[in-house]
C-alpha cells in the first residue's frame, strides 16, 4: 500500500461514517496531521502505529487497516492525545469504536476474562473476590493494624456505613494478593478526618468491561456501584483507579 497511489473514492469508509455518526463532535475532518497526539502517546511506535496514523487511516477510509490492527488494544485510553490535540479530535472515542468491531470472543483474553469475572458477582471484582471475602479481609487487616501499630488504635475501614460522605472503591487485586497495600490510603483518610466507606457491593475499582468496549458490561458495573453508593446516602463517589 505504501508504494501504491490511493484512490480515495474507491475506499470503503464505513467505519469513518460510523465515527462521524456516533462522534458528531469528534472533529475528525479537522485533523491537521500535526503529530501532537503521537508525541505524547505511550503507545506510539507499538505495532508501527501511533494516533496520527490511526486518524489518517480513518479519514482515508482504510477501515480494515485501522480497525484490525492490534494497536487499538494497546491504547490506554488515557486521553492524553485528546487533551493535546489543538482541534480536539476524539481519538480515544474512535479507538473505543474500533474495538467494538472485533468479535467479542476475539478480543484480548486477559481483558475479556477480567470483564467476565467482574460480572459474576456483586463485588464487580475482576479478581472474582466475593463481597463476604472482601469484608473479611478488610476487617482482618484493619484489626491487625490497630493491634500492632502504635498510634493507629482508632483506625477504621468501614463497610456499608450509612451516610458516609465518600463512597470509596478499591482495586480488587490488593485485597486478594496484597492486602497490606490498602492500609496507606486508610491512614491518609484517617489523618484528614474523611467520612468514608466501602460498599459490600460494587467495591471493585477497575472496570475491564470499559476497556473491552463492552457497553452493557460497563454500564452494569457502574450502575451497581452507583446504586450501592446511593443506598448508603454517600455524596461523593471516590474512584481510586
- Quick: pLDDT tens for 129-161: 999 999 999 999 999 999 999 999 999 999 999
| Prediction pTM value | 0.84
Stronger pLDDT, 29 or 55, i.e. the higher one: 55
Q: How far is CA 134 from CA 12, 58, 125, 159, 204, in A?
A: 50, 44, 10, 10, 10
Query: Could you tell me if 160 and 187 lie in one domain?
Result: yes
Q: Which of 62, 84, 102 is the last residue of a domain?
A: 102
The percentage of the chain sitting over the pLDDT mark of 70, rounded to a whole number, equals 95
Range of the domain at 97: 8-102
Mean pLDDT confidence for 95-122: 95
pLDDT of residue 112: 97
Residues 64 and 127 in one domain: no
pLDDT at 9 over 70: no
Q: Is the pLDDT of residue 96 over 60?
A: yes
21 pLDDT band (50/70/90 cuts)? confident
Residue 3 pLDDT > 50, yes or no? Answer: no
Instruction: With respect to residue 3, please indicate whether it lies within any of the assigned structural domains.
Output: no
Residue 1 lies in a domain: no
Residues 150 and 75 in one domain: no
Of 68, 84, 102, at which residue does a domain stop? 102
Classify residue 2: in a domain, yes or no.
no
pLDDT at 53 over 80: yes
Amino acid at each position: 500500500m505504501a508504494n501504491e497511489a490511493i484512490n480515495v473514492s474507491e475506499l470503503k469508509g464505513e467505519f469513518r461514517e460510523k465515527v462521524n455518526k456516533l462522534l458528531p463532535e469528534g472533529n475528525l475532518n479537522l485533523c491537521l496531521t500535526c503529530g501532537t497526539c503521537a508525541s505524547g502517546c505511550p503507545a506510539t511506535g507499538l505495532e508501527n502505529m501511533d494516533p496520527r496514523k490511526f486518524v489518517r487511516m480513518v479519514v482515508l477510509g482504510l477501515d480494515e487497516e485501522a480497525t484490525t490492527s492490534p494497536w487499538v488494544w494497546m491504547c490506554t485510553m488515557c486521553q492524553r492525545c485528546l487533551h493535546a490535540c489543538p482541534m480536539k479530535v476524539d481519538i480515544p472515542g474512535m479507538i473505543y469504536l474500533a474495538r467494538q468491531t472485533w468479535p467479542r470472543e476475539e478480543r484480548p483474553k486477559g481483558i475479556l476474562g477480567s470483564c467476565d469475572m467482574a460480572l459474576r458477582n456483586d463485588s464487580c471484582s475482576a479478581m472474582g473476590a466475593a463481597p463476604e471475602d472482601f469484608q473479611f479481609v478488610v476487617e482482618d487487616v484493619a484489626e491487625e493494624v490497630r493491634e500492632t501499630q502504635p498510634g493507629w488504635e482508632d483506625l477504621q475501614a468501614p463497610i456499608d456505613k450509612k451516610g458516609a460522605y465518600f463512597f470509596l472503591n478499591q482495586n480488587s487485586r490488593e485485597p486478594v494478593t496484597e492486602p497490606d497495600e490498602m492500609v496507606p490510603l486508610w491512614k491518609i483518610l484517617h489523618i484528614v478526618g474523611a467520612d468514608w466507606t466501602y460498599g459490600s457491593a460494587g467495591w471493585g475499582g477497575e472496570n475491564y468491561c470499559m476497556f473491552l468496549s463492552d457497553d452493557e458490561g460497563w454500564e452494569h458495573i457502574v450502575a451497581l456501584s452507583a446504586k450501592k453508593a446511593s443506598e448508603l446516602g454517600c455524596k461523593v463517589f471516590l474512584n481510586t483507579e
